[in-house]
Amino acid sequence: MLAKPAVQFSEFKSNNWEHEVLSDASQDAPAAERSVNTSRRYFLIGATSVAAGVGVVGAAIPFVKYWNPSAKAKAAGAPVTVDISKLAVGEMLTVAWRGKPIFILRRDSQTVAALEENQLDLADPNSDLPQQPEYAKNLTRSTRPEIGLYLGICTHLGCSPKLVEADNFEDGQGGFFCPCHGSKFDLAGRVGSGYPAPTNLEVPPYRYDSDTVITIGLEGAA
């Protein structure tokens, strides 16, 4: 703890530190002693100012740190890169993005033709509702007809639909079936009419970095 200064200040009456008024006892002190006391006074003022500045900086560091996103928060929304070179025709790959499943489906030419020709009984066959990016607003709901990407969450109450091969719709086309409440979607993620799910499966933003590499969470050219 710092010792109490020997110099006693009277009431401060000036904005100029050189004109501060010392007590009578200090005025009577020898000139050399007054010089030492004045130097000590300036030292204490400077030390107090530095300590206050350090305190402000120390208080600001946790505040700034609080506003910086953590590594976990960054990872939660970070893009995901997927290699689909080994994804065979008729197979589906499920990956996680933002903690949610993303279905990546490779369709054969017959399936693509059926999606383009047969509208079945769909609630939103032309994808008029904004459940996909503009570049996926087509009959296959994808940039490449044979590859479809869909958020694997039913738009009714959030269950995860299952891929079925032939018994989803009456013509045996196949699609996605939600086991929770029976909603059915075709292989473009479009929901059938009259089912609990109100809208088509959502299409996430994505782009192709190459013929076999997809980045989910980014759009535009690589």
Which residue numbers are catalytic?
181
- Angstrom distance (rounded) from CA 105 to CA 89: 8
Q: What is the dihedral of CA 138, 142, 146, 147, to 10 degrees?
A: -160
What pLDDT is recorded for position 32?
54
Nearest to 188 by CA among 81, 116, 121, 109: 116
Q: Which long-range contacts (CB under 8 A, 24 or more apart) does 80-84 make?
A: 80/215, 80/216, 80/217, 81/209, 81/213, 81/214, 81/215, 81/216, 82/213, 82/214, 82/215, 82/216, 83/212, 83/213, 84/147, 84/212, 84/213, 84/214
**pLDDT for residue 126:** 92
pLDDT of residue 176: 94
| 137-185 pLDDT tens trace | 999 999 999 999 999 999 999 899 999 876 556 566 789 999 999 999 9
Report yes or no: 205 and 214 within 8 Å, Cβ to Cβ: no
Judged against a pLDDT cut of 80, whether residue 128 lies above it is answered with yes
Q: Please answer whether residues 162 and 177 qualify as being in contact, where contact means their C-beta atoms are separated by less than 8 angstroms.
A: yes
| pLDDT tens digits, one per residue of 29-59 | 555 555 555 566 555 556 555 454 545 444 4
Q: How far apart are CA 67 and CA 48, in angstroms?
A: 30
Q: Identify residue 43 by its one-letter amino acid code.
A: F
Range 90-120 burial, b when 16+ CB lie within 10 A, else e = eebbebebeeeebbbbbbeeebbebbeeeeb
- pLDDT for the residue numbered 13: 39
Residue 220 pLDDT more than 60?
Answer: yes
Q: Which fold has domain 75-216?
A: Rieske Iron-sulfur Protein (2.102.10)
The answer, yes or no, to whether residue 119 has pLDDT greater than 80, is: no
Domain definitions of the chain by residue range: 17-67, 75-216
- Is 3 or 140 the better-scoring residue by pLDDT? 140
Mean pLDDT, the chain, integer: 76
Query: Which has more pLDDT, 193 or 4?
Result: 193
